[in-house]
Amino acid sequence: MAVKPFKQMAFDDISSLFFNPDEFAEEHNVDGKKMLIIVDSMEAERRTRKQFEKLRIDGVSVNVILIYVPRKVFGQAPAQGRRLMLDGRPYVVEDAIDEGGVLSIELRAFIS
């Protein structure tokens, strides 16, 4: 029996390990479809401070959310600037990167 390369084994384990609802993932509604995703608020907070320091507007705050979702569940990475609904709230895709079968999607919303 041939042994799979490590990358293939890791890719196969993405859903069962990282996107397991008993471990890291939670169910959210993404563009009208229920998906198990991981929301990283710590990294999003760090990015928010760094990127939007110059955009201070009285009475308006920036909400940045970083989500991770398996590419096989979400599909192709969304384009920068695309509108995306997360749990019924509109966001704009700030960035989207395919990290070995997992999409890292940074979402931004301005809140007044």
DSSP-derived 3-state class of residue 52: helix
Specify the pLDDT at position 3: 76
Residues 50-97 pLDDT 10s: 555 555 556 667 778 899 999 989 999 999 999 999 999 999 999 999
Average pLDDT, the chain: 83
Query: By C-alpha distance, which of 31, 11, 34, 35 is closest to 93?
Result: 31
Can you tell me the distance from the alpha carbon of 13 to that of 8, in angstroms, rounded to the nearest whole number? 9
Percent of the chain past pLDDT 70, that is, above it, reads 76
Half-sphere exposure of 69 (CA within 13 A, CB side): 27
Specify the pLDDT at position 46: 64
Q: List beta partners, residue 90.
A: 85
